[in-house]
Amino acid sequence: MTDVVIAGIGQTPVGEHWDVSLRDLAERAMLAAIADAGGLRPDALYVGNFLSPVVSHQANLGALLVDHAGLNGIEAFTVEAAGASGAGALHMGYLAVASGYVDAALVIGVEKYTDQTGSELETAIAQSMDNDYEAVHGLTPTGQAALLMQRYLHDCDVPRQALGAFALIAHANGAGNPNAMYRKAIRPETYARAGLVSDPLNLFDVAPYADGAAAALLTRPELLPEAARARLVRVSGSSVAIDRLALHDRPDPLAFEAAGVSLQRACRQAGILPGDVDFFELCDAYSIYAALSLEAAGFARRGEGWRLAERGELNLDGRLPISTLGGLKARGNPLGAAGLYQAVEAVQQLRGEAGANQLAHPRRALVQSLGGPAATAVTHVLERLN
């Protein structure tokens, strides 16, 4: 295996892009990543997407996007892993370059959530669950997260408002991200007054679904001019782990086992311990996911992940900053594209290009994406090359 670096990144603002097609949204991020890499032409395209075949009535995205972006002749196909689709595509791009199969791989995560509305959209999103035993009975991903949160509050004797600290962190950080869907900090009393979405989850416990596209161009450092190497970010660890799909099949639903396994493998590949990272871009699709992810990673004991947020340890100036540009909660959750947004934002931090949210001299990032409640977990360790 050889060194793999991210040479270029691109992204669109996250939001409701009613007037932009899926192909145009993807093209903007793809061409931006290519331009950011100095015009380097990729040999392959890996597309992360979850909903397009049902919501946008468009499959075969590899062919669609290669043609639309003028990259004819390269290999391309789609990776699907629910909310971890973008991160799964990044994993495929990493493996293709690291193995020497290609010299340069373009990875794109794209989602057009607003191509459909109504109950059909909820049905499409519920495809991330076990249809025979969960979705067919009316359970939704939000209802699933509500069950986990209820169990967590009960088993761990956690105050109901404690998980609100995650939303406060995300919205405070989203205020400094020009690509975020919500760019306004919230106060504790705002969180406390928010209406319930699925008891005990309130409006600020749930990341809003949205449209968006983010891309990264991966290659080997020796293929780039010396002048470009100061901005390179190495992918030093990449791992995927799988858990039982249905929550009722898991011995302990509050143990995000795949998240822990994936993270440990990625860190071992990078030759580090989890505590060696400078920040953690975790999956905060729901507040409870953030708490369980921190505990699975070993940053907190069972039932105490929320305490890190409450004590300020996860703020931009804390011991382990999370969701540094707003996370899924404030930046918005573009589902199959979310993992690429997380990686692109981590690269911005490591390059020193995070604007008002820039951390002080970060060298190493942990990025984790989840498909469902950690049924699929994809973790990357990113490091500044110089």
Cβ count within 10 A of residue 109: 36
User: Taking a C-beta distance cutoff of 8 angstroms, is the pair 362, 350 a contact?
Assistant: yes
Over residues 191-249, the pLDDT tens digits come to 999 999 999 999 999 999 999 999 999 999 999 988 888 899 999 999 999 999 999 99
Over residues 260-280, the pLDDT tens digits come to 999 999 999 999 999 999 999
Domain match, 163 and 275 both = yes
- 11 within some domain: yes
**Farthest-apart Cα atoms in the chain, separation:** 58
State how far the alpha carbon of 96 is from the alpha carbons of 45, 125, 261, 383, in Å: 10, 29, 22, 19
What pLDDT was estimated at residue 225?
A: 86
Domain match, 27 and 143 both = no
Domain match, 186 and 223 both = no
- 287 within some domain: yes
- 130 within some domain: no
- 133 within some domain: no
| Domains: count for the chain | 2
The residue segments making up the domain with residue 22 are 5-118+210-231
Domain match, 179 and 215 both = no
Domain match, 171 and 82 both = no
Over residues 21-56, the pLDDT tens digits come to 999 999 999 999 999 999 999 999 999 999 999 999
pTM beyond 0.95: yes
Select from 345, 333, 353 the least CA-distant residue to 82. Answer: 333
Domain match, 253 and 215 both = no
